[in-house]
């Protein structure tokens, strides 16, 4: 009796195996024939997670497959990045990262992968500039006053940032290097707590994305001293360039990457899908509601930016970590 049922089971399994084999045989169809995984090397609920949810809720209608988000936080983004570096180069595993994890970390730490050799960018999804802010009742009214105060008393001005070599730390480091000053850098667990520290008076200065600080600015709780990039974002507020802070440091570029060696037609398909998103009303609408722009930049163009980032970040890291 027991034997008979084993035989029955085996034949069932064989049948199932054949069915599987059959479907694989037929599956020489074109990419993508199964859901695509998008690895985020950061934790849940952050801005990357939210941006990714917008992408994955719209993109299936352009690639005819689901896109699944896989959050793999750990070791400052290295864990998720390494996972994609180890995955097969078939375009089914994407990495949704940002420029500091992508290009800066290699100069700070020994990584188990080589970001330049192991990855190629598909597209930059969007970017966010950053603004240096102080409390509304702060004694510093301009960036120069802040620098003068920091020069007068090295370490006397405390700057709240969101973690070492993160989106607020790098611009701060570049400021310290370019202007030859010393801030007292106090880490916080993310931009929100850093902003709270500024408002409660624990810190003298911090930074924030314009998309998130609008309400605090309007109510006069904050003053903007300078913003990143070459173009002015606020009337009468100088840019990093004008303030003598050079390099591509004040921007958070959210970028989708794949393993290098991914077939060209697969890359093309993905790029087409992301380009198509640009014309999608829902997508643009959703991003706008999150307070993000939809300034897409395709892989080749972003690769140039990547090359520049690598060089300037290397110079920055070497200059200050002595």
Partner 1 sequence: MRKTIRRAAPEVLTIATLLVTSVLALVFINYLVEPPKLLFGRSLTAIEPSLFPLIVLALLAGLCAILMWMMRTAGAETADSVEDLSGEEWRRGMAFFAIMICYALTMAPFGFLIASAIAMIAMSLLMGTRSILQIICVSVIGPMLLYLAATRLLAVALPELNAIEVFYARLLGE
Partner 2 sequence: MALRVDTFVLMSLGLFGGMLVGALPGFTTLMAMAILLPVSFFLDPIVGIPFLLGIYKGGIFGGSIPAILVSMPGTGAAVATSRDGYKLTQQGKSRKALDIALFSSVIGDTASDIFTILMIFPIAFLVMLFGPPELFAVLLMSLIIIAATSGSNPLKSLVMMMLGLWLSFVGTDPLGGVERFTFGLFDLKSGIPLLPMLIGVFAIPELAAVVMRNEKARQLSALMGERLSRLEFKRCFKTICRSTVLGTSIGIVPGLGQVVAAMMGYSAAKNASSHPETFGEGELEGVAAAEAANNAVNGPTMVPLLTLGIPGDNVTAILLGAFVAQGLRPGPQLFEEQGATVFAILIAMVFANMMFVVIGYLSIPFFSRLVTIKVSILIPVVMMFAFAGAFVFRSDSVDLIMLVAFGLFGIIAKYARFDVMPMVMGFILGPPLEYAFGQTVAMTNGDFAGFFLTERIGAMLVLLASPLIGYLLWKRMRKVAPG
Q: Which residues are near partner 1 by CB under 8 A?
A: 2, 5-6, 8-9, 12, 19-21, 23-24, 27, 33-35, 37, 56, 64-66, 68-71, 108, 164, 173, 176, 182, 185, 187, 320-322
149 binds, among partner 1, partner 2, none (CB under 5 to 8 A by kind): none
Q: Which two tokens stand for residue 274?
A: 């992301």
* Shortest distance in whole angstroms from residue 5 CB to partner 1: 4
> Would you call 65 helix, strand, or coil by DSSP?
coil
Q: Which own/partner pairs from 142-149 qualify as long-range (CB within 8 Å, at least 24 positions apart)?
A: 142/225, 142/238, 143/225, 143/226, 143/238, 143/243, 144/243, 146/205, 146/225, 147/179, 147/181
Site string for partner 2, 244-283 (x = CB under 8 A): ----------------------------------------
Q: 5 vs 219, which CB is nearer to partner 1?
A: 5
Torsion sign (Cα): 214, 219, 225, 230? positive
- If binding means CB under 8 A, how many residues of this protein chain bind partner 2? 57
Q: Are 95 and 265 in contact (CB under 8 A)?
A: no
Report the sign of the C-alpha dihedral through residues 154, 156, 161, 164, in that order. Answer: positive
Within its chain, how far is the Cα of 12 from the centroid? 48
Which of partner 2, partner 1, none interacts with 176 (beta carbon under 5 to 8 A by kind)?
Answer: partner 1
Which residue stretch of 2-10, 27-35, 74-82, 304-312 sits at the interface with partner 2 (rule: CB under 8 A)?
Answer: 74-82
Site string for partner 2, 80-119 (x = CB under 8 A): --xx------------------------xx--x-------
Q: How far apart are CA 47 and CA 239, in angstroms?
A: 24
Is residue 210 within the footprint of partner 2 (CB under 8 A)?
A: no
Helix (H, G, I), strand (E, B) or coil at 262: coil
Any contact of residue 151 with partner 2 (CB under 8 A)? no
């Amino acid at each position: 009796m027991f034997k008979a049922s084993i035989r029955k089971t085996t034949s069932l399994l064989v049948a199932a195996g054949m069915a599987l084999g059959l479907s694989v045989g037929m599956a020489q169809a074109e990419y993508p024939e199964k859901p695509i995984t998008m690895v985020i090397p950061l934790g849940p609920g952050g801005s990357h997670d939210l941006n990714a949810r917008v992408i994955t809720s719209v993109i299936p209608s352009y690639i005819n497959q689901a896109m699944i988000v896989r959050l793999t936080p750990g070791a400052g983004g290295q864990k998720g990045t390494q996972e994609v570096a180890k995955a097969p180069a078939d375009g089914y595993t994407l990495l949704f990262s940002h420029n500091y994890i992508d290009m800066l970390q290699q100069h700070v730490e020994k990584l188990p992968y080589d970001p330049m050799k192991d990855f190629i960018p598909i597209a930059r999804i969007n970017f966010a500039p950053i603004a240096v802010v102080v409390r509304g009742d702060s004694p510093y009214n301009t960036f120069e006053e802040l620098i003068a105060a920091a020069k007068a008393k090295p370490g006397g001005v405390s700057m709240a940032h969101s973690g070492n070599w993160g989106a607020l730390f790098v611009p701060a480091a570049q400021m310290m290097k370019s202007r030859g000053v010393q801030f007292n850098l106090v880490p916080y667990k993310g931009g929100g707590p850093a902003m709270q520290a500024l408002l409660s008076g624990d810190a003298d200065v911090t930074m924030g994305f314009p998309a998130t600080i609008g309400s605090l600015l309007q109510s006069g709780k904050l003053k903007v001293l300078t913003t990143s990039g070459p173009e002015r974002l606020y009337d009468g507020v100088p840019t990093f360039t004008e303030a003598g802070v050079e390099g591509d440091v004040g921007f958070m570029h959210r970028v989708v990457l794949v393993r290098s060696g991914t077939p060209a037609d697969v890359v093309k398909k993905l790029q087409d899908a992301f380009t198509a998103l640009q014309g999608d009303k829902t997508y643009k609408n959703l991003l706008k509601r999150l307070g993000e722009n939809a300034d897409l930049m395709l892989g080749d163009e972003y690769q140039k930016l990547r090359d520049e980032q690598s060089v300037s970040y290397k110079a920055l890291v070497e200059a200050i970590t002595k």
